[in-house]
Amino acid sequence: MSIGSRLESFLAARVGRPVRVSALSRKSGGASRETYLFEAEWEGSEKRGFVLRRDPVASLLESDRSHEYRVLEAARSLGVPVPAVRWLELGREALDRPFFVMERVDGMVTPPTFPQAYPDEMRERCAEDFVSILAAIHRADWRAAGFGFLDAPAPGPEAARRAVDLWRGIFEKDRIEPNPVLTRAFEWLEENLPSSDQVTLVHADYRSGNYLHESDGRITAMLDWEMAHLGDPHEDLGWAAMPYWASGGRVCGLLPLEDFVARWESATGLRVDPARLRFYQVLGTAKMMAIALTGVRNLCEARTCEPTLAIVGLLNGRLAREVLELIGAGTPATGAR
């Protein structure tokens, strides 16, 4: 039975009437989930667009399906533009692997850096929304908004410690051969753990490429919340401001770092600590290297033939240079503050 027919059976059981699925297509990318677009209609309902997010056979990231689903539910209550989630299935009977279905949101998808060829007016509007949405995430009363299921770190270095331990563990588990650069990066992170008394919701993959926007630049949805957790807001700032995502001297191809920081500070009432920002730039670059190595291992073990995983394996040369620049001689890499 095709995936479309099986999806029809699943949805029919959920809505209590026959469902017709059409225009089913797999979206390119999706290194941590298989993503399918489709339309569905049933008696008493107009045809609507939906998105299916299914576990892949092998992934760059391993995470609990219910985690992203619950985060999206709670994020919607903040007024953050996210897709409305509809159905979660953790069993394997319906589509072989866990998945959830959410409503489709209209909008354009950008590459991981906002294209410099796009009109300045589009970039400026997108940059405005990019910062204001991030500020809303970091300003949120996460307890009142329903994020209490996330484990909050204690004040001090615990947020940084957790992040370093997580990604160092992934690196050590998935590396195929010694990687002296990444080993040194994690040593540097251990030596420079910052303290923080700020605990906020952290998206953990906040960048261009993970949102939809209109032709005028207005962001319609922020996507890919599977790594969201509670921690230091500098983690999102450092990830977005990594040299890897920069283009044309702009954070994620959108705006200069100084403007990014100033707008975030104005919108949140918080101050950016340059040392913590640099720490999380280093962590973000090390994290990206670890993610790439996970993809390489999955390919080498023949767990998947997903082309995205082959491509990310080519990133480590550039990322290694960038992380060495960030930790070397006290001089941040290009794009750092």
For 180-231, the pLDDT digits (tens) are 999 999 999 999 999 999 999 999 999 999 999 999 999 999 999 999 999 9
Half-sphere exposure of 304 (CA within 13 A, CB side): 20
Coil, strand or helix: which one is 172?
Answer: helix
Q: How confident is the model at residue 171 (pLDDT cuts 50, 70, 90)?
A: very high
Q: How long a stretch of residues is the chain?
A: 337
Coil, strand or helix: which one is 203?
Answer: coil
pLDDT at residue 278 greater than cutoff 90: yes
Q: How far apart are CA 297 and CA 303, in angstroms?
A: 9
Based on DSSP, count helices (H) and strands (E) in the chain, helices before strands: 10, 10
Provide the phi-psi class of 164: left if phi over 0, else alpha when psi is between -120 and 50, else beta. Answer: alpha
pTM: 0.91
Task: Output the pLDDT for position 62.
Answer: 56
**Exposure of 45 by Cβ count < 10 A (0-12 exposed, 13-18 middle, 19+ buried)?**
exposed
**Exposure of 1 by Cβ count < 10 A (0-12 exposed, 13-18 middle, 19+ buried)?**
exposed
Task: Output the pLDDT for position 174.
Answer: 82
Please answer whether residues 178 and 186 qualify as being in contact, where contact means their C-beta atoms are separated by less than 8 angstroms: no
For the chain, which residues make up each domain, given as ranges?
A: 3-103, 108-327
Token couple for 159: 């947020």
Provide the phi-psi class of 302: left if phi over 0, else alpha when psi is between -120 and 50, else beta. Answer: left
Average pLDDT over residues 128-151: 96
What's the CATH number for 108-327?
3.90.1200.10
CB-CB neighbours of 118 under 10 Å: 16
pLDDT at residue 58 greater than cutoff 70: no
Task: Output the pLDDT for position 4.
Answer: 95
Percent of the chain with pLDDT over 90: 79
Residue predicted with more confidence, 27 or 48: 48
Average pLDDT over residues 139-167: 96
Residue predicted with more confidence, 28 or 48: 48
Task: Output the pLDDT for position 332.
Answer: 41
Task: Output the pLDDT for position 79.
Answer: 87
Please answer whether residues 24 and 7 qualify as being in contact, where contact means their C-beta atoms are separated by less than 8 angstroms: yes
**In CATH, what is the architecture of 3-103?**
2-Layer Sandwich (3.30)
Nearest to 289 by CA among 161, 134, 168: 168
pLDDT at residue 30 greater than cutoff 60: no
Token couple for 39: 């339309």
Task: Output the pLDDT for position 27.
Answer: 84
Please answer whether residues 130 and 254 qualify as being in contact, where contact means their C-beta atoms are separated by less than 8 angstroms: yes
Q: Which residue has the tokens 């339309």?
A: 39
Please answer whether residues 313 and 179 qualify as being in contact, where contact means their C-beta atoms are separated by less than 8 angstroms: no
pLDDT at residue 91 greater than cutoff 50: yes
pLDDT at residue 176 greater than cutoff 90: no
Token couple for 148: 């209490």
C-alpha dihedral (62, 201, 51, 285), degrees to nearest 10: -50
At residue 37's C-alpha, the angle toward residues 32 and 38, to 5°, is: 145
pLDDT at residue 333 greater than cutoff 60: no
Q: How confident is the model at residue 336 (pLDDT cuts 50, 70, 90)?
A: very low
Task: Output the pLDDT for position 299.
Answer: 60
**Exposure of 302 by Cβ count < 10 A (0-12 exposed, 13-18 middle, 19+ buried)?**
exposed
Task: Output the pLDDT for position 328.
Answer: 86
Average pLDDT over residues 161-175: 93
pLDDT at residue 95 greater than cutoff 80: yes
pLDDT at residue 335 greater than cutoff 50: no
Please answer whether residues 242 and 206 qualify as being in contact, where contact means their C-beta atoms are separated by less than 8 angstroms: no
Q: How far apart are CA 249 and CA 258, in angstroms?
A: 11
Please answer whether residues 218 and 263 qualify as being in contact, where contact means their C-beta atoms are separated by less than 8 angstroms: no
Mean pLDDT check: name the lowest of 58-62, 100-104, 124-128, 301-305.
58-62
Average pLDDT over residues 141-166: 96
pLDDT at residue 232 greater than cutoff 70: yes
Averaged pLDDT of the chain: 90
Task: Output the pLDDT for position 178.
Answer: 87
Residue predicted with more confidence, 64 or 160: 160
